A = this chain, B = another copy of it.
Amino acid sequence: MASEPEAPRRRHVGEYVRSGDWSDYWTTRISRAEGGKIWVRGYPIEELIERLSATEATFLLLRGELPDERETAVFDLALRCGFDQQLINSAACAARFTASAFPESAVPALASGMLATGSVTGSPQEPAQMLIDAVAQGLEESEAARRVVSGWLESRGWVPGLGHPLHKQGEPRALTLRRVAGELDGWRAHGRMLDAIEAELARRKGRQIPINLAGAVAAVLADLGFEPLMIGGLGALGYGVALLAHIVEEIREGVPLRIIPEAHGARYAGPEERHLPAGRNRRAP
C-alpha cells in the first residue's frame, strides 16, 4: 500500500531572511542525481525504466511508493478516462486557437489549453476537496451528504462533480468509469460518498443530476489516496493527451490565423460611431 511520509513544516521566506540560514531552502524528496547516477524516490532510475510500466512509474513518482496490483489497475483506469475531448470543450478550443497562431511548437498551445481546465470545464480538484472533506468528518454517509448538498446549494447554487450541460441522463465516460472502478474494487469511501451526494441532490431537486466525469475521476483518485491539488493536476495532464491530438490536427490540417467570423455569430453590441471631442488631444499624465 502506498502511503506518504509526513511532510515537513512549510516555512515562509521571511523566516529565511531573518535567520540568514538558507541551507535547506531547496529541499526535495523526489529525486537525486549524483556522480552520474539518478534515483527517483530512492530507486535507481534504470530499474524504473526497465521494470515498471508508465502507469506504475507515474504513481511512484507522484506518491513516493509503488502501487500494488489493484492500485495500478484503478489508477490506469482513471488516467485513461480524461482522454476524449471534442470541440465541445473550452480547453480544446483555446488550444486550437493558440496552435493556429503559434504553429512552431505544440507546447504553447498545450499550456494554453491546460490553463482552460478551470473550475467550470471540469477540473476534478474541487469535487475531490468536497469528497475528502466529507469523508474526513466521519459521519454516516447520508448525513454527510445532506450537509454537503445544503452547504453548496446555499453558497453557490450547485454541487461540484454533478451535472453536465448536454448529457442529462449521465455522461458515458462517468458511467463507465464508475462501473469499471467498482469491478476493480476502486469505488470505495469517496465513491460511495459521491453516490450519496447524487442521491441527496436528486431528492432535493426532484430529478437526477448525474455524476459527471470530474466527479467520478475525483472519487476514484481520492479513494487511491491522492490529494485535491494533485487530482486537479492529473485532470489537466489527462486532458493534455487529447489537447495534443487537437493541436497537431490544427497545425497540420486546420486554419492558420483563425478568427470567429460574422457567419458564426460574431456581433458588435457596443456604442455607435462617435468622435473624440474637438480639441481633445493627448493629456500629459
Contact = CB atoms under 8 A, between A and B. Distances in A.
Given A14-B166, A255-B12, A273-B44, A282 B29 contact: no
Interface in A240-283: 240-242, 244-249, 251-261, 263-276, 280-283
Given A36-B169, A49-B81, A237-B241, A275 B90 contact: no
Contacts of A173: 38, 45, 49
Interface stretch (A16-24, A135-143, A188-196, A200-208): A16-24
A97 B93 contact: yes
Contacts of A258: 13, 90, 93
Q: Most chain-B Cβ atoms within 10 A of its Cβ — which of A48, A58, A257?
A: A257
A284 interface: yes
User: How often does this chain occur in the complex, in copies?
Assistant: 4
Contact of A237 (B44, B62, B240, B254): B240
A234 B244 contact: yes
B31 A53 contact: no
Interface string A23-56: 1111111111100111111111111111111111
Contact of A120 (B42, B47, B256): B256
Contacts of A76: 53-54, 282, 285
Nearest to A105: B232
A94 B101 contact: yes
Contact of A276 (B47, B54, B227): B47
A33 B266 CA distance: 11
A167 interface: yes
Contact of A261 (B22, B236, B285): B22
A36 to B, nearest CB: 6
B118 A265 contact: no
Contacts of A241: 58, 61-62, 237
B101 A110 contact: no
B80 A52 contact: yes
Q: Most chain-B Cβ atoms within 10 A of its Cβ — which of A47, A85, A267, A285?
A: A285
22 contacts: A8-B253, A22-B261, A24-B265, A30-B246, A33-B166, A37-B172, A45-B84, A49-B80, A54-B285, A64-B270, A90-B257, A90-B258, A94-B94, A100-B120, A102-B119, A103-B119, A104-B104, A107-B108, A108-B116, A108-B118, A233-B244, A237-B244
